[in-house]
Amino acid sequence: MNSENKQTNWAQFIPLVTVFFFWGFVAASNDILIPVFKKTFDLTQLQSQLVSLAFYIAYTVGSLLYLLISYLTKGDLINRIGYKNSLALGLLISAIGTLLFYPAANTGSFPLMLSGLFTVALGFSLQQTVANPLAIALGPITTGSQRLTLAGGINNLGTTIGPLIVSFAIFGSSASSDTNMSIESVKIPYLILGAAFLLVAVFLKFSSLPDKPQAIVESESEAATVRSSALKYPQLVLGMIAIFVYVGVEVSTASNLPAYMEKNLNFLTQDIAPYISLYWASLMIGRWTGAVEAFTDKMSLQKILRFIAPYLAFGVFLFVNAIAKHDLTPFYVYALIILVLIAADMASKGNPARMLLIFSALGIVALLVGMTTDGMVSVYAFTSVGLFCSTLWPCIFTLAVSGLGKHTSQGSSFLIMMIMGGGFVSLLQGYVADETTIQTSYIVGVICFAYLAFYAWKVSGILKNQGINFDKKISGGH
């Protein structure tokens, strides 16, 4: 049993990461839908952010439903029906949501569009509750956050491709500005997505994924049984706020970027897609870099891969945009900004708390540069926030569920609930933008990063008091 847990179980891990791809594809596509809906339905910046709110509030509703059903049936729902069945059920719910896009597009109904997005994300809520702790559990705990980072890297393959495919479906290859026609063209990509959800549900049902991962079973018998609820752990409670503000800053930075580029830099709506794609590709670049340790324990190989991985991910972004016939010239300079990411990744030495602190500080710097400059410098500063958000999710998630034992899936559900930050922080930034300027509104993101830096500092002490130390693996292995 122990030997099995010494290394990542790739046969089980690879089928699992397919769901991570879908979350990314849909979440990033929302940024393309926002300006289109804004024009078609004649919305304010605040109203257009209802797209983000509908999508992200569904995570909270899903988590609350999960906790309510678990409470009423006097037992953890996921532990009862199994991790694998829960994933398949989540995909089925998401598939039903994609079907709503058909009548919504035919009737030109904004509320129905929002309902479709809400239902898709409702399914994602259940998938996320299962898949995140599962990714950590499919191998040694010391590389758990790196495995989650790798899964996040696959998620960002979806976020890089999503905006380009949806943009192509809406605007076509010709630079058409007739967005009334485009609402109709939302139907096909979402129906195809629904079919893909169903295929993956069947695929996962017959895969070798465990119904209950061994790592979670083992820790159930340990000291974690002493506390009656996941909410009795301070690392989780503070981590819930951290997830709220982290998803908030990640989403609102991207979802307010199209309006900034249209208003301040006179970009056309259909020319913004590659920049949104670059923002989400930045998350992929950072996550591929942060996932290096999940592949090999050899320090010399890790050093080489730390340089290869980010530029490989950047290459994927350039390749996809080349296929979409976008001009790549504005993006080459971004290769220099990636060096900052590599240096920060090396400085963190694989410790999730230290990484969270360094990357949050860099996020603050990036936003302040974006707020105080103009032209393309500000655009690159705002897109580089993606680089510094890249590894924060796995860091926060790993720190927050450390030591929870049998309360892991309950704790995970509380964290997934806080994904609603993506909607509320976007809405807050939209409000600040309407009241001041879009550039000034990025102060909301600065405040979010400031809390994350605080959590990184605070949680280290909390975990040390519980006998959990992430620095041990640096000095000696597993």
Separation of CA 453 from chain center: 19
Q: Tokens 């796995």 map to which residue?
A: 394
Q: What is the pLDDT of residue 213?
A: 67
**Mean of the pLDDT values across residues 172-187?**
59
In 177-272, alpha helices (H): 179-184, 187-205, 214-220, 234-255, 257-265
466 HSE (CA, 13 A, CB side): 23
Q: How far apart are CA 251 and CA 28, in angstroms?
A: 9
Residue spans of the domains in the chain: they are: 3-470
Q: How far apart are CA 284 and CA 20, in angstroms?
A: 12
Q: Is 125 helix (H, G, I), strand (E, B) or coil?
A: helix
Q: How far is CA 196 from CA 92, 189, 201, 317, 477, in A?
A: 10, 11, 9, 23, 40
Q: Six-digit token pair at 416?
A: 């997934």
* In contact, 444 and 252? CB cutoff 8 Å: yes
When the pLDDT of each residue in the chain is averaged and rounded to a whole number, the result is: 84
With 80 as the cut, is the pLDDT of residue 226 above it? no
3-470 CATH, one of 3.40.50.1820, 1.10.3680.10, 1.10.600.10, 1.20.1250.20: 1.20.1250.20
Q: Six-digit token pair at 274?
A: 């590659």
* In contact, 122 and 142? CB cutoff 8 Å: no
**Mean of the pLDDT values across residues 234-241?**
95
Give the model confidence (pLDDT) of 317-349 as tens digits. 999 889 888 888 889 999 999 999 999 988 988
Of 65, 71, 77, the residue nearest 121 (C-alpha): 65
**Mean of the pLDDT values across residues 2-8?**
51
- 403: region left, alpha or beta (phi > 0 left; psi from -120 to 50 alpha): left
Of 297, 13, 340, the residue nearest 149 (C-alpha): 13
Q: Is the pTM of this model over 0.85?
A: no
With 60 as the cut, is the pLDDT of residue 476 above it? no
Please tell me the least confidently modeled range out of 6-15, 96-105, 413-422: 6-15
